[in-house]
A and B are shown apart, each in its own frame.
Chain A
Amino acid sequence: MTANEPSTRRAASGEGDAVVMRGVSKWYGDFRVLTDIDLNVRRGERVVICGPSGSGKSTLIRCINRLEEHQQGEIIVDGVELTRDLRSIDRVRREVGMVFQQFNLFPHLTVLENCVLAPMRVRGASRRAAEEQAQALLARVRIPEQAGKYPGQLSGGQQQRVAIARALCMNPRIMLFDEPTSALDPEMVKEVLDVMVELAGDGMTMLCVTHEMGFARRIADRVIFMDGGQIIEQAEPETFFTAPKHARTRAFLSQVLGDQ
């Protein structure tokens, strides 16, 4: 965090926090998807969000980069409050990377072009600088040799690693992951998780929706359990997995851990 950031609205409290959500609610029509969400994520913190299908996990993290609009409460990301103001949205999206379940690579662009697009257009980087950085990040996700290929020519695991590299190319301060391994064949899950573990080790602020409980146990600073649009329980992974307080958490855990 550089000290000479242009004057932005800072939250009164939680100055140093990467993400602050206070009393956030969201409706789809009459259906309340999120109810009074309070959540602070410190810089460098790794948060794993889990919960049954339809509990609002995706909606929650998509509110953080304004892919979804919240109707109540406030969300402050990297010191910028998300409002209708397009400039606040642009600023936040620049600093927040996102990885989707379905990869969402741009199929008409090569891997390298996928990676340099946003740095060049949004950050105004030169092609050379952007390509150098992209190559370095592709090497970091262990697919430097695929730079010239099109996404359709890669395996699912490779595509997801490209998607991670593409997000990292913007030098985000916060990374959001929405079930990054759910669309992958089992043998490819590990290669993606390995990359994410490495990223966590580098001190990236991460919010990750996942059902990979082994991964959560390994890298999370905090595990959040959601159900019915609410945060039911949150704790350090040790406590969360060994001594869950709520009955619903226990039911959920027995289900997902039983599957493994």
Chain B
Amino acid sequence: MTTTPSTPANQPPAHGALARPPQQAPGLIQGLRSLVATPLNALLTVLALAIAWFLLRPAIEFLFIDAVWSGHDRAACLAGEAGGETGACWPYIARRLGYFIYGQYPEAQRWRPNAAMALCALNIGWALWPRAPFRGAALFSFVLPFPVIAWILLYGPGFSGLVAVPSNLWGGVLVTLVISIVGIVVSLPLGVLLALGRRSQMPVVCAASTVFIEVMRGVPLLAVLFMANRMLPLFLPPGVLPDPLVRVMVGVSLFAAAGMAEVIRGGLQALPKGQYEAAAALGLGYWQMMFTVILPQALTLVIPGIVNTFISLFKDTTLVTVVGIFDLLTTIDVSSRDPAWATPVTASTGYAFAAIFYFICCYAMSRYSAAMERRLAAAGSRS
């Protein structure tokens, strides 16, 4: 065929014209349309809306519309306008916030937990912000120097010149965060070691790791906490009785480490054998292979499982109340029985506050892990 530019009608359409996809409605409109696309869809949509209305309306009424926003004591929250119950009693939360955050930590010393929490927030931000410089150093500081500084600040041991504040005075958010953060910081590396141990060629290491993991996984956390509280002293020389808070931190960390080990083992097993072989063939030793080739990939694979373990751990810290530790939920529970604030809605308000606190923390962890997965996927590191 001779191509004469004067007869464009004979020519095939330009490449770009065919490549363009057919016109589509924007995402939102498409989404809305699909809600009512068929009678069944429409019915389901109506049903879902109705359920949401029945569930959400009371919650919104309780938390916002009928809620009491100001007042000095229980009188404000005793009865609503029509004589019925009021909604949430927010003045109660506002007045007792100090107790919820610090427990019975002496008021004059509360700058110390504040400083520790600020340091913690800075350190976490540094470690988690993708473009921050020296993120490795941030992780290191979070695992070693920071816990020491935080311990000195919070506890005030003799040499520090601070007033000693024994841990039985600590409470609320402070205790919840201390236990969770220690649990998270200890359980990840310990979980890695246990997972590697369970896959080890050395029979003793393998057996020890397996027994530890299976025992911890086969026992409820409550039992672990009781055991840590009662039995840990039996394993230690007489006269050495660790602080009760330390005992539950050990219990929670070991329990979480066992769960973590199984999650990480899943990641190790999912890696193709060729990765191990290529690393070995290059002459990398066991630990070099693990740290440079295997663990970076295995841990990335199981980020959702790791974060899931963190979230469980965070929520499970509420169980420490059984061994007499005043975590956030316990402080709320105790203060709701305070006669000065005795109203029909005090307890519900307290639990609503706890639910919001736990939800925000867990949701933040979940979102961060989702963002991290997206970033790693976008980096093109997965083939």
In the complex, the chain B residue whose C-beta lies closest to that of A176 is B281
Whether A118 sits at the interface, judged by CB under 8 Å, is yes
Q: Which residue of A lies closest to B289 (CB)?
A: A121
Residue contacts A-B, CB under 8 angstroms, 23 given: A67-B281, A93-B280, A94-B283, A97-B281, A100-B274, A102-B272, A104-B278, A106-B279, A107-B383, A108-B381, A117-B282, A117-B293, A118-B284, A121-B292, A122-B282, A122-B283, A122-B288, A149-B380, A150-B379, A152-B380, A163-B278, A167-B281, A170-B283
A206 within 8 A of B: no
Q: Decide: B277 and A100 in contact? CB cutoff 8 A.
A: yes
Interface contact tally, CB-CB below 8 A: 75
Asked whether A180 is an interface residue with its Cβ less than 8 Å from the other chain, the reply is: no
- In Å, the complex CA distance between A100 and B281 comes to 10
Inter-chain CA distance A65–B275, complex, in Å, is: 15
Interface residue from A97, A122, A150 paired with B284 (Cβ < 8 Å): A122
Contact with B along A121-154 (1 / 0, CB 8 A): 1100000000000000000000000000111110
B283 and A93 contact, CB distance less than 8 A: yes
- The answer to whether A118 touches B285 (Cβ under 8 A) is no
Q: Which residues of B contact A102 (CB under 8 A)?
A: 272, 274
Residue of B281, B284, B300, B380 touching A98 (CB-CB under 8 A) = B281
Q: Which of A94, A100, A153 contacts B278 (CB 8 A)?
A: A100
Q: Is the CB of B278 within 8 A of A121?
A: no
**Chain B, residue nearest A153 (CB):** B380
Sorted from nearest, which 5 A-B pairs have the closest CB atoms?
Answer: A152-B383, A104-B278, A118-B282, A104-B274, A98-B281
A100 to B383, CA, bound (A): 17
CA distance A149 to B281 in the complex (A): 23
Q: A93-B280, A104-B278 are in contact. Are A121 and B382 (CB under 8 A)?
A: no
Total B residues in contact with A, Cβ cutoff 8 Å: 23
Q: Is A105 an interface residue (CB 8 A)?
A: yes
On chain A, the number of residues with a Cβ less than 8 Å from chain B's Cβ atoms is 28
| Residue from A67, A107, A122 in contact with B381 in the complex, judged by beta carbons closer than 8 Å | A107
Query: Any chain A CB within 8 A of the CB of B296?
Result: yes
Residues of B within 8 A of A105 (CB): 278
Task: Please name all residues of chain B whose beta carbon is closer than 8 Å to the beta carbon of A108 when the two chains form the complex.
Answer: 296-297, 300, 381
Q: Tell whether, in the assembled complex, residue A107 and residue B297 are in contact, meaning their CB atoms are under 8 Å apart.
A: yes
A108-B300, A121-B292 given as contacts; is B380 within 8 A of A170 (CB)?
A: no
Instruction: Name the CB-closest residue of A to B282.
Output: A118
A90 at the interface (CB under 8 A from B): yes
- Residues from chain B with a CB closer than 8 A to the CB of A90 are 283, 285
Please tell me if A57 contacts chain B, counting CB pairs below 8 Å. no
Give the residues from 96 to 120 in chain A that come closer than 8 angstroms, CB to CB, to chain B: 96-98, 100, 102, 104-108, 117-118
Chain B residues closer than 8 Å to A153, beta-carbon distance: 380, 383
Contact flags (1/0) for A49-88 with B, using CB distance below 8 Å? 0000000000000000101000000000000000000000
In the complex, whether A166 has a CB less than 8 A from a CB of chain B is: yes
Docked Cα-Cα span, A96 to B280, in Å, equals 11
CB distance from B298 to the nearest CB of A (A): 10
**Interface pair B274/A106, CB less than 8 Å apart:** no
In-complex Cβ contact of B383 among A96, A122, A150 (8 A): A150
